[in-house]
Amino acid sequence: MKKIILDCDPGQDDAVALALAMAAKDEFKLLGVTTVAGNVPLKLTQRNARIMCEICHRPDVKVYAGADKPIVQELVTAEHVHGKSGLDGIDIYEPNHPLEEKHAVDFIIEACLTADDNSIFLIPTGPLTNIGLAMKREPAILPKIKEIVLMGGALKEAGNITPSAEFNIYVDPEAAQIVLKCGRPIVMMSLDVTHQVLTTKKRVDAIRNLGSIVGQQIASLIEFFERYDEEKYHIDGAPLHDPCTVAFLLKPDLFSLKEVNVEVETSGKFTRGATVVDYWGVTDRAPNVKWAYAVNDEGFFKLLNEYLIKL
Ligand code: RIB
Ligand code: CA
C-alpha cells in the first residue's frame, strides 16, 4: 500500500484526482490532503478539498491548509477556468469535514520525518509552494520521499496561462525550481500528456451513468471545467490534467516516460515560469525528471471509471 500525500488547489480537475485517490482505498494510505493557493485563494481550496472528502464519503481523510501565496511573487488565480468558487458545477456549501489546525507545511515535514526512508509519495497537483517550503525548511525530509508525481510544465504544448508557461509552475516558479533540484525521483505530468486525455462527451456521459451520485457530481464538475478549454482549443472535451498523477501511481504502464533535464525559467521577461526541457539531451545538464510524453487515453478513462464506481 502506497503512503501518499496529495497537495492540491481544487479546482475541478484536482477534485477528480482527489476522488480517484480516495476511491483507491486498497492501493493508497492517504496520509493527508494538503491545500495551497492556486486556482482560487487558499480559503476556497481548503474548503473545496473538505467538500470532496464529504462527497467521497471519506471522513477519515485529514485536510490541511498551507501557503496562501507563492514564495516570491503575488498570487495569480484562475477563476476564469474554475469559476469563483473553484468548484463551480456542483452546489457549494460549508462542509462539516474539519480543517486540521496544523499548517500543511508542518504536516508534510512531520509526516515525512516520522516515515521510513523511501516510503512517501508526494502528489502535487497545484503550485508547488507547500512542497518547496517544506524541502527548504527541512531538507531531512528528502530521503523519506520515494517519488514525486506532479502535474505541471509544458514543452510541445504551448503554455496555458502565458504563451510559454503552464499554470502550476507559473504561479510559483521558485518553488518549482526547489522541487526540481531536490534530487528525488520526479515524474512530471505536463500539458504535453494531459492534453491527450480529453473529457469528450462520450466519456463524461459514461461517468454520469456510473450509477452513483458521486458519478453525477464528477460529471457536472467536468462539464463546467471543460467549457473554457473547449472554447479556447475548439475541441470536444478538455484535458483532465490532475488525475493523470494518481492514475500513474495506480497503473504506470498507461504512460510513456522519458528521462530528461528540466529547469524552470525564473527571470525571463516573457518566459517566467516556463519549463525548459532538454528533451534531446543537447546540454550536459543531468536528467532530473521522468517526463510523460504519451498516454493510453482510453485506458486512463477505463481506470478512472473502475475506481469512481467504488465511491
Ligand atoms: O495547468 C493546469 C493545472 O493548473 C491544473 O493543476 C489545474 O488544476 C490548475 O491548477
Ligand atoms: Ca490543480
Q: Is 262 in the pocket of ligand 1 (CB under 6 A)?
A: no
- Provide mean pLDDT across the span 74-103: 98
pTM: 0.98
Question: Furthest-apart CA pair in the chain: how many Å?
Answer: 53
241 is catalytic: yes
Q: Is 13 in the pocket of ligand 1 (CB under 6 A)?
A: yes
Q: 306 near 20, Cβ under 8 Å?
A: no
- 181-219 per-position pLDDT tens digit: 999 999 999 999 999 999 999 999 999 999 999 999 999
Q: How far is the CA of 97 from the centre of ligand 1 (A)?
A: 24
Q: Is 229 in the pocket of ligand 1 (CB under 6 A)?
A: no
The CATH number of residue 273's host domain is 3.90.245.10
- Provide mean pLDDT across the span 302-306: 98
Question: CA torsion sign, 59 to 241 to 169 to 116?
Answer: positive
Q: Count Cβ atoms below 10 Å from residue 261 Cβ, excluding itself.
A: 19
Q: How far is the CA of 48 from the centre of ligand 1 (A)?
A: 15
- Provide mean pLDDT across the span 166-179: 98
- 37-74 per-position pLDDT tens digit: 999 999 999 999 999 999 999 999 999 999 999 999 99
Ion ligand 2 — residues with CB < 5 Å: 9, 11, 14, 125-126, 242
- Cis ω on the peptide bond leading into residue 11 (within 30° of 0)? yes
Domain that holds residue 125: 2-308
Task: Please tell me whether residue 276 adopts helix, strand or coil conformation.
Answer: strand
Q: 260 near 151, Cβ under 8 Å?
A: no
Q: Is 126 in the pocket of ligand 1 (CB under 6 A)?
A: yes
CA distances to 19, 66, 80, 311 from 203, rounded to whole Å, are 17, 34, 24, 18
pLDDT of 304? 98
At 163, the pLDDT band (50, 70, 90 cuts) reads very high
- Give the contacts of 232 (CB within 8 A, at least 6 positions apart): none
Atom of ligand 1 nearest to the CA of 239: 2
Atom of ligand 1 nearest to the CA of 194: 2
Question: CA torsion sign, 273 to 158 to 292 to 108?
Answer: positive
Task: Please tell me whether residue 32 adopts helix, strand or coil conformation.
Answer: strand
pLDDT of 250? 98
pLDDT of 71? 98
Three-state helix/strand/coil letters over 123-190? EECCCCHHHHHHHHHCHHHHHHEEEEEEECCCCCCCCCCCCCCCHHHHHCHHHHHHHHCCCCCEEEEC
Q: Is 125 in the pocket of ligand 1 (CB under 6 A)?
A: yes
**Shortest CA distance to 274 belongs to which of 144, 137, 164, 198?**
164
pLDDT of 307? 98
pLDDT of 58? 98
- Of the bound ligands, which one is closest to the alpha carbon of residue 38? 1
- Closest C-alpha to ligand 1, atom 1: 167
- Provide mean pLDDT across the span 161-185: 98
pLDDT of 186? 99
- Provide mean pLDDT across the span 25-30: 98
CA distances to 107, 173, 280, 283 from 274, rounded to whole Å, are 29, 8, 17, 17
Q: How far is the CA of 167 from the centre of ligand 1 (A)?
A: 6
Quote the percentage of the chain above a pLDDT of 70. Answer: 100
The strand pair at 186-189 and 289-295 is best described as parallel
Q: How far is the CA of 218 from the centre of ligand 1 (A)?
A: 17
Q: Is 167 in the pocket of ligand 1 (CB under 6 A)?
A: yes
pLDDT of 105? 99
Mean pLDDT over each residue of the chain, to the nearest integer: 98
At 269, the pLDDT band (50, 70, 90 cuts) reads very high
pLDDT of 257? 98
Question: Total domain count for the chain?
Answer: 1
